Amino acid sequence: MIKAYKYCLLPTEEQKQILAGWFGSCRFVYNLALQAKIAAWESLRKTVSSYDLKKQLTDLKHSECLWLKDCPAQSLESTIANLEDAYSNFFKRGTGFPKFKKRSAKQSVEFRQDSKVFGSQIRLTKIGLIDFVQHRPIGEGEIRTVTVSKTPAGNYFVSILVKDEKELPTKMPIVEETTVGIDVGLKTFSVLSDGQKFDNPKYLHQQLSRLKKEQRTLARRYKKGVEISEQSKGYHKQKLAVAKLHEHISNQRKDFLHKTSTAIVKQYDTICLEDLNIKGMMQNGNLAKAISDVSWHEFNRMLEYKADWYAKNIIRIGRFEPSSKTCSDCEAINTLLTLSDREWVCSNCGTLHDRDENAAKNIKSLGLRAKPSTANVSR
């Protein structure tokens, strides 16, 4: 089983300068490799393999870009491998096309060899021991990769990927008593089929007025026609303030999602979810900001990998199932139901339904009825 452990990194000023150079080297190699792939496809309709890119990298380090030798060779090769994965996923899974990396965005460098942990210090190639805040113990096993990253707010983190000898536990049996259906929404973050509700904290909405004020200040301090690196100290100071506020909102959201997903996974053996077209829903300009704030995709991702850890099941139902319009008691369909109707009475049996709770019950029912050959049960 493979798990990642993320900690706050505390490099010295000298180590920060070394890491800054390595971040730049990896960013340069990534962008150059992506440009080579795009140019080869546009001109020759051919794909440049990662083997060819690594060979070109070796030639580059001994000719035009001697400064690339300062960065660990494994880190540069990992950058090309990561680009290859992103490029392949675009064609195989329909994910977004790889984008060029910016200096102002999150920076990272990956180490695949000779990384060891000594208490609250980690030893990395060519840089030595770096302190980190070990707020939880690292699992026993082989360290596969170590990724050092820097956020736009200037914080450093280290992510340690550990592989142990343990196998994923056998899944719990799927029975109705320990199964729950989940209906996610915007007004209420999620409603469970047993009536339990998790309110939407709306962290972005809470900080929106402050964020707008900080961004207006940043816009005023920007000098047109001047490169970012040559902007005033006040501009860079304000840019850091905006980045810190964005990171604060992101941390609040992640904390909420972790606590909610862990509570649900520990309480139920089988979790039924709706296969939402989140990407398509984001095209609605009126709802895009609210959908982005609730992070349904990240919530689903957390449920999936935590279900593997705790031997729980994930079942998904089709996105076109009328879960909200179907009466959970008699299964009659209310074709007149609109999005503004939060409660409705079934014209067939007279039952009063809460829209979200009724949808969660139907999601559970449809999930249990799904055939094993078609149910998307997590591994």
Number of other residues whose CB lies within 10 A of the CB of residue 186: 13
| 274 is a catalytic site residue | yes
Residue where the block lists tokens 């920060």: 16
The active-site residue, picked from 77, 274, 293, 304, is: 274
Catalytic residue list contains 183 = yes
Torsion of CA 237, 243, 249, 253, to 10 degrees: -150
Q: Are 68 and 60 in contact (CB under 8 A)?
A: yes
Beginning with the edge strand found earlier in the chain, give each strand of the sheet holding 270-274 in spatial order: 197-199, 188-192, 179-184, 270-274, 313-317
Q: Token pair for residue 367?
A: 């999930």
Q: Mind giving me the DSSP string for 317-356?
A: E-TTS-TTTB-TTT--B-TT--TT-SEEE-TTT--EEEHH
What residue has token string 């971040």?
A: 23
Calpha distance 199→208 (Å, rounded): 19
Catalytic, out of 84, 110, 183, 293:
183
- Known active-site residue 356: yes
Q: Which residues are catalytic?
A: 183, 274, 356
